[in-house]
Amino acid sequence: MPARKTIIVLGSTNTDMVVSGKKIPAPGETVSGGTFLMNPGGKGANQAVAVARLGGKTTKCVFVAKVGDDLFGRDTARRMKADGIDARLVVDAKEPSGTALILVDRNGQNCISVALGSNGTLSSEDVKPALEECLPAASALLMQLETPLKTVLFAAQAAKAAGIPVILNPAPAAKLPAKLYRCLEWITPNESEAELLTGVKVSDAKSAAQAASVLRKRGVKHILITMGTKGCWCSDTGKLHPGRKVRAVDCVAAGDTFNGAFVVALAEGMPCEEAVAFAQHAAAISVTRPGAQASVPYRKELQCGVC
């Protein structure tokens, strides 16, 4: 049997408190009649779960993050273990674990407010031991932007120096330093994130290509722009890949599922078009289910043709 691929996910872990109702309240408005769920989330943790579940027996996931010395932090460790994830969790004695308040409407659209907590104190010193141990055997490093940008840059530079591909999902949207672009093998913004990064309003394949051109000039080798129900545009194929049509229940973690699945596919050596289709299939399943990590499918579900 070939050796398992190791994918490192560095990022946030939150506890999501979700209210689902008919509509998302406008400022000053109260909407009654919703249902409440408390779910594990955080972009980093969501993507780690996606890597672990969708990588199946072919992939080992190492998750590097920071938690508070509290119930949420201990629950994160327990859940990561249950999913077979090698969690390298640093404990912050002062800050609580991250939390997110999420409102979801009847169409599955959502708005999210995040209290970073210990995610916001994740430092270069915190992640250095795990990176030094795990990077030599890694196939990829996947990151987002719910942890300090300085730490993201440090990890990206360490991975690049070790010859490990870096994939950045630039969410939530933020301006990036020039040094970071030059470390990236792939960047995977959505439409609004791509516009913030490049100044190009992305609405179709032509504008996606224009935004990608800007990012390529900054040093990124490959660009994939997700465009919701329109699908995603990939620089390697030079075209828009239509998404699967499903009835969305909850779009929380759909992008995280996509990113985790895409990196698994890349690590397995799938051609780009096949990797995109694999990631789109996983994301399509996730939006038909409520919750963040609870919605992430397993590899066998894709193989069985779910959705």
Q: Is the pLDDT of residue 1 over 50?
A: no
> What would the mean pLDDT of 209-217 be, rounded to a whole number?
98
Catalytic positions = 256
Residue 208: the pLDDT is 98
**Mean pLDDT, to the nearest integer, of 60-72?**
97
Looking at residue 306, its pLDDT comes to 65
Is the per-residue pLDDT at 137 higher than 50? yes
- Set out the domains of the chain in order of their start, with CATH numbers: 5-25+34-292 (3.40.1190.20)
Q: Is residue 18 predicted with pLDDT exceeding 80?
A: yes
pLDDT more than 70, % of the chain: 98
Q: What confidence category does residue 250 fall into, taking pLDDT thresholds of 50, 70 and 90?
A: confident
Q: Would the pLDDT of 304 be above 80?
A: no
Residue with more model confidence, 229 or 158 = 158
pLDDT in tens, 106-134: 887 888 888 999 999 999 999 999 999 99
The pLDDT assigned to 3 comes to 65
Burial class (CB in 10 A: 0-12, 13-18, 19+), 76: buried
Q: What is the pLDDT averaged over residues 293-297?
A: 92
pLDDT value, residue 307 = 60
- pLDDT attached to residue 305: 66
| Average pLDDT of span 173-178 | 96
Q: Average of pLDDT values for 203-219? A: 98
Query: What confidence score (pLDDT) does residue 2 get?
Result: 55
Average pLDDT across the chain, whole number:
94
Does the pTM of the predicted model rise above 0.85? yes
**DSSP of the chain, one letter per residue?**
-PPPEEEEEE---EEEEEEE-SSPPPTT------EEEEEEE-HHHHHHHHHHHHHGGGEEEEEEEEEESSHHHHHHHHHHHHTT-EEEEEEESSSPPEEEEEEE-TTS-EEEEEE-GGGGG--HHHHHHHHHHHGGGEEEEEE-SSS-HHHHHHHHHHHHHTT--EEE---S-----HHHHTT-SEE--BHHHHHHHHSPPP-SHHHHHHHHHHHHHTT-SEEEEE-GGG-EEETTTTEEEPPPP---S--TTHHHHHHHHHHHHHHTT--HHHHHHHHHHHHHHHTTSSSSGGGPPPHHHHHTT--
The pLDDT confidence band at residue 59, using thresholds 50, 70 and 90, is very high
Most confident of 21-30, 163-172, 241-250: 163-172
Which of the two residues, 231 and 229, has the higher pLDDT score?
231
